[in-house]
C-alpha cells in the first residue's frame, strides 16, 4: 500500500456513529473498542498505521435494536471508505488500484478468540486479476483471494461451501453484521458472564486498509515485544514470518523466524520497528505486545497493547521499569502477584542420586523443600517462627490446619488425591505437596529430616540440595520486598494483603448479630486471623469485632499473634461447648439430608478448583489461555447458582450459616469483576476458602469429625 493524501477531517464525533481514526478521535475505549483506540493512539504518536475508521458501539446498539444496519449509518460507512480511499490512493470495488480492507471487532475489554474478523475484504475474481497485473505476482493475488474466501465463508456465511457475494459493498455489509452478531455468540456470552462484563457494552467495528505481508520476499508479518515476555529483559523480542498475513504468527500453524532475520534482511525496517516499540513502551509505561506488517519494505503497525508475560518477566520488568523511571515502586508492586513471586522462588528438583523414597504418592504441587517432619499444625507454626524448616505431614488436612500449612516448607498427607484440601491449598500457597502416600506415613516420618519432591511425588530421606534460584531473581525479589517493607520470604504474603486491603475498607452491612460462637468458630477454622478480616467475613463492624476478640483474649479463650488472633487450648473446650449447644437447636435429620446434598456439590467443586490450578496432571495453569479459564469459571458459576438454594436452606436450619451465602456470592462477584484471586486464595474469603469453612461447619453440626469423614472419602 502506498500512502496518499491525508484523510479528510471526520464529522463531529458527538454526532457521528462512524468516526475516522486519525489520531484525534478523542472517544473512549468504551465507545470505539480497544483495537480502534490503539490505532488512533499510535497515529497520534506519529507512527505508521494504515488508515482506518470505526463504527462505534452506538452502531452495534442500533443494529441490535433494528436487526439490520440503518441506512443513515451505512451512508457514514460509505463515507468512511471514501476517507480510506483518499488516504491510500486506491478505490474500493475498482479494478483500478483496488482497495481491500479488514473488518475487525473492537470491544472495550479484551475478549481473545471470542469475536470475529474478516481480512482482504473487497476481493473478487476481477480484483484478483487486477492485483496480479499491478504487482506482477499472480501467486500473491491468488493467495490473498483464497484467504478471503475461506475466512468469509467461515465467519460470515458459516458454510465452507457458501457463495461469497461478488459485490464488495455487499461483502462489507455482511462482514460488519457478522462482527455485530459475534457479540452474542455463545462463546462470547459465556466469556462475559464469567468475567462480569455487561452484555450491553457491545462491540465496535474497525475497518482498516489492508497491508500485505504476503506480497513478496520483502513482505511479512510479525509480533514484537518491547522486552522478552519470558524473562523481562531487553532488548526487544519477537518473531517474523516472511510471506505471512493476519494471525499466521500467533496461530501456531506456521513456524516464524527470529526477529534477527528481519534485521539482517531489512536493517532500516528493523531499526524503525525497534524505535516504535521503545516509543510505545515509554508512552504506555508497560511491556508492549506489538503487531506489525512489512509490505515491500514498508513498515506498518497494526496494534499495541500491554503484553502477557511469565512470572519471571513480570518481576524483572516491574523492577527494571522503576529503575528506569517509567513507573513508581507502588505501581511495580501492583503489577506483581503473590503467585508470580512464589513461582520464581520455587526451587527445581535436585540430585537425588540412588536414594530410595521413604514415601511415594501423587504429585499435588511441584517444587523441592527439606525440613524436619512435624505432625501438628500448631507445632509447625511455633517451630517455623523460631527459624526451623519444617514439613507438615498429616493423615489429611482441613481449614483448621491452614496456619501450619502456611508455616511449613512442604505438605504430605496419607489420604486424598489431587483434588483434596491439601492439594488445592498447597497449590495456592506454592508449597511442594505429595498426597495419598498411604496409611502409616505420619508415624513413619515423624521427627525425621526429609525432602519433599512435589513434582515427582516423592518423600526422600535427608536434605536434598536443590538447584539454586538464580541470583538475579533473588535480587529482584529482594528489591520488591524492600519497597513494600518486608523480608523477601514474606513478600508473597504481603502482596496478597495488598489485594484485599481495598475490600477490607468497604462498608459492610450487618446481616445478623455477631455472637461469641460466630467469632470463636471462625477463629478456630481460620487458625490465625485479624479483626479486619473477621469483620469482613462476618459482615460486621470492625470495631465491634475487635472488642469481641479482646474480650475472648481476656477470658483466655484466644491469644494474639503477629498473624492475628488464635484459639488457645482453653478456648477449644469453650468452642466445643458452644457448638454442642448450637447442635441441640438444629433439626439433625434435616441437617444430615442437606449435608448429603452438599457432598455431591463438594465433589464437583474440587474438580473445578483443580482444573483452575492445573490444565492436566502435569501442567500448571498459567492462566494465559483465556478461553480455558473462561470455561472453568463458567462451571464454577453454574455450580454456585445451583448450590444457592441449598445454602439458603442451611441458613434456615442454623442461622449462623446464613452468612456463608453472602460470602460465596461476594466471591463470585469479585471473580466476575476480574479478580481471580477470589477463586481459591487461602488467606482471604475466596470461594474455595469459604466453601471449605462451610464444609467444616457442616461436619460439626452433623455430629461428625473430620477424621470420620476423611475415612469415608468425603473430607480429604
Q: Where are the alpha helices (DSSP H) in 515-620?
A: 516-526, 531-538, 542-554, 571-584, 588-613
Q: Which residues are CB-contacts of 325 (< 8 A; sequence separation ≥ 6)?
A: none
Helices 588-613 and 687-701 meet at what angle, rounded to 10?
Answer: 150
- Determine whether 191 is exposed, middle or buried from the number of CB atoms within 10 Å of its CB (0-12, 13-18, 19+): buried
Q: Which residues pair with 453 in a beta bridge?
A: 368, 458
Rounded CA gap, 642 and 6, in Å? Answer: 58
Rounded CA gap, 426 and 424, in Å? Answer: 6
Q: What is the dihedral of CA 628, 634, 639, 641, to 10 degrees?
A: 170
Asked whether the bond before 397 is cis by omega within 30 degrees of 0, the reply is no
- Determine whether 468 is exposed, middle or buried from the number of CB atoms within 10 Å of its CB (0-12, 13-18, 19+): exposed
Q: Taking Cα atoms as reference points, which of 698, 637, 628 lies closest to residue 664?
A: 637
Rounded CA gap, 650 and 183, in Å? Answer: 39
Sheet holding 101-107, edge to edge: 18-20, 52-55, 203-209, 101-107, 117-121
Render pLDDT for 38-89 as a digit per residue (tens, 0 to 9): 999 999 999 999 999 999 999 999 999 999 999 999 999 999 999 999 999 9
- Location of C-alpha cell 521503545: 278
Is the Cβ–Cβ distance between 454 and 363 less than 8 Å? yes
Q: Residue 679 has what pLDDT? A: 94
Q: Residue 14 has what pLDDT? A: 40
Positions of the chain with pLDDT lower than 50, given as ranges: 1-14, 503-511
Rounded CA gap, 287 and 611, in Å? Answer: 29
Give SS3 for 597. helix
- Determine whether 516 is exposed, middle or buried from the number of CB atoms within 10 Å of its CB (0-12, 13-18, 19+): middle
Distances (CA, A) of 284 to 47, 228, 277, 337: 14, 16, 10, 20
Is the Cβ–Cβ distance between 191 and 24 less than 8 Å? no
Q: Residue 632 has what pLDDT? A: 93
First to last CA, the chain: 64
Q: Residue 509 has what pLDDT? A: 44
Is the Cβ–Cβ distance between 294 and 269 less than 8 Å? yes
Q: Residue 465 has what pLDDT? A: 79
454 alpha-carbon distance from chain centroid:
24
Amino acid at each position: 500500500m502506498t500512502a496518499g493524501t491525508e484523510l479528510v477531517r471526520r464529522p463531529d464525533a458527538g454526532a457521528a456513529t462512524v468516526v475516522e481514526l486519525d489520531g484525534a478521535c478523542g472517544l473512549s475505549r468504551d465507545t470505539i473498542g480497544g483495537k480502534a483506540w490503539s490505532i488512533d493512539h499510535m497515529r497520534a504518536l506519529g507512527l505508521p498505521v494504515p488508515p482506518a475508521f470505526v463504527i462505534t458501539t452506538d452502531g452495534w446498539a442500533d443494529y441490535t435494536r433494528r436487526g439490520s444496519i440503518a441506512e443513515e449509518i451505512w451512508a457514514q460507512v460509505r463515507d468512511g471508505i471514501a476517507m480510506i480511499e483518499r488516504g491510500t490512493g486506491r478505490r474500493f470495488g475498482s479494478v483500478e488500484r483496488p482497495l481491500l480492507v479488514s473488518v475487525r471487532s473492537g470491544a472495550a475489554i479484551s475478549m481473545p478468540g471470542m469475536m470475529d474478523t474478516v481480512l482482504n475484504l473487497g476481493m473478487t475474481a476481477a480484483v484478483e486479476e487486477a492485483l496480479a497485473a499491478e504487482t506482477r505476482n499472480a501467486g500473491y493475488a491468488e493467495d490473498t483471494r483464497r484467504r478471503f474466501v475461506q475466512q468469509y465463508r467461515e465467519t460470515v456465511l458459516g458454510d465452507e461451501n457458501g457463495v461469497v457475494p461478488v459485490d464488495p459493498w455487499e461483502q462489507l455489509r455482511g462482514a460488519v453484521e457478522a462482527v455485530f452478531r459475534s457479540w452474542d455468540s455463545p462463546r462470547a456470552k459465556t466469556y462475559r458472564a464469567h468475567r462480569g462484563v455487561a452484555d450491553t457494552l457491545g462491540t465496535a467495528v474497525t475497518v482498516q486498509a489492508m497491508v500485505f505481508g504476503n506480497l513478496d520476499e520483502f513482505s511479512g508479518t510479525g509480533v514484537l515485544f518491547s522486552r522478552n515476555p519470558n524473562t523481562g529483559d531487553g532488548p526487544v523480542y519477537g518473531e517474523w514470518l516472511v510471506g505471512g498475513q493476519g494471525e499466521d504468527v500467533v496461530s501456531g500453524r506456521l513456524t516464524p523466524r527470529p526477529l534477527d532475520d528481519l534485521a539482517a534482511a531489512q536493517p532500516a525496517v528493523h531499526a524503525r520497528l525497534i524505535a516504535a516499540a521503545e516509543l510505545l513502551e515509554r508512552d504506555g509505561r508497560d511491556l508492549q505486545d506489538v503487531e506489525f506488517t512489512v509490505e515491500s519494505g514498508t513498515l506498518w503497525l497494526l496494534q499495541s497493547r500491554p503484553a502477557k508475560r511469565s512470572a519471571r518477566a513480570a518481576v524483572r520488568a516491574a523492577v527494571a521499569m522503576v529503575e528506569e523511571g517509567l513507573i513508581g515502586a507502588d505501581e511495580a508492586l501492583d503489577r506483581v502477584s503473590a503467585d508470580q513471586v512464589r513461582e520464581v522462588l520455587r526451587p527445581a528438583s535436585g540430585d537425588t542420586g540412588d536414594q530410595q523414597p521413604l514415601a511415594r504418592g501423587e504429585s499435588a504441587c511441584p517444587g523441592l523443600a527439606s525440613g524436619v517432619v512435624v505432625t501438628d499444625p500448631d507445632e509447625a507454626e511455633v517451630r517455623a517462627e523460631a527459624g526451623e524448616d519444617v514439613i507438615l505431614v498429616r493423615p489429611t488436612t482441613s481449614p483448621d490446619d491452614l496456619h501450619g500449612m502456611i508455616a511449613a516448607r512442604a505438605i504430605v498427607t496419607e489420604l486424598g488425591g489431587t483434588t483434596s484440601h491439601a492439594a488445592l491449598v498447597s497449590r495456592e500457597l506454592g508449597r511442594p505437596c505429595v498426597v495419598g502416600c498411604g496409611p502409616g506415613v505420619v508415624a513413619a516420618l515423624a521427627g525425621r529430616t526429609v525432602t519433599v519432591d512435589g513434582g515427582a511425588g516423592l518423600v526422600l530421606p535427608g536434605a536434598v540440595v536443590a538447584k539454586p534460584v538464580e541470583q538475579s531473581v533473588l535480587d529482584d525479589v529482594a528489591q520488591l520486598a524492600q519497597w513494600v517493607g518486608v523480608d523477601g520470604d514474606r513478600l508473597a504474603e504481603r502482596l496478597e494483603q495488598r489485594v484485599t486491603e481495598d475490600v477490607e475498607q468497604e462498608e459492610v452491612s450487618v446481616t445478623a448479630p455477631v455472637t461469641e460462637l460466630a467469632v470463636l468458630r471462625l477463629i478456630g477454622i481460620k487458625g490465625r486471623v485479624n479483626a479486619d478480616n473477621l469483620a469482613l467475613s462476618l459482615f460486621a463492624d470492625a470495631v465491634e469485632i475487635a472488642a469481641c476478640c479482646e474480650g475472648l483474649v481476656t477470658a483466655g479463650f484466644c491469644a494474639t499473634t503477629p498473624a492475628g488472633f488464635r484459639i488457645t487450648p482453653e478456648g477449644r473446650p469453650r468452642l466445643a461447648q458452644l457448638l454442642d449447644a448450637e447442635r441441640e437447636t438444629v433439626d439433625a435429620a434435616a441437617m444430615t439430608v442437606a449435608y448429603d446434598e452438599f457432598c455431591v456439590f463438594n465433589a464437583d467443586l474440587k474438580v473445578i478448583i483443580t482444573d483452575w490450578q492445573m490444565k492436566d496432571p502435569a501442567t500448571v495453569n498459567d492462566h494465559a489461555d483465556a478461553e480455558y479459564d473462561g470455561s472453568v469459571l463458567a462451571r464454577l458459576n453454574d455450580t454456585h447458582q445451583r448450590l444457592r438454594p441449598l445454602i439458603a436452606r442451611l441458613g434456615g436450619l442454623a442461622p449462623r450459616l446464613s452468612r456463608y451465602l453472602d460470602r460465596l456470592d461476594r466471591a463470585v462477584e469479585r471473580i466476575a469483576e476480574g479478580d481471580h484471586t477470589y477463586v481459591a486464595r487461602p488467606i482471604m474469603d475466596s470461594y474455595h476458602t469459604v466453601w471449605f469453612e462451610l464444609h467444616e461447619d457442616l461436619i460439626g453440626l452433623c455430629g461428625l469429625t473430620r477424621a470420620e469423614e476423611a475415612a469415608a472419602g468425603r473430607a480429604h
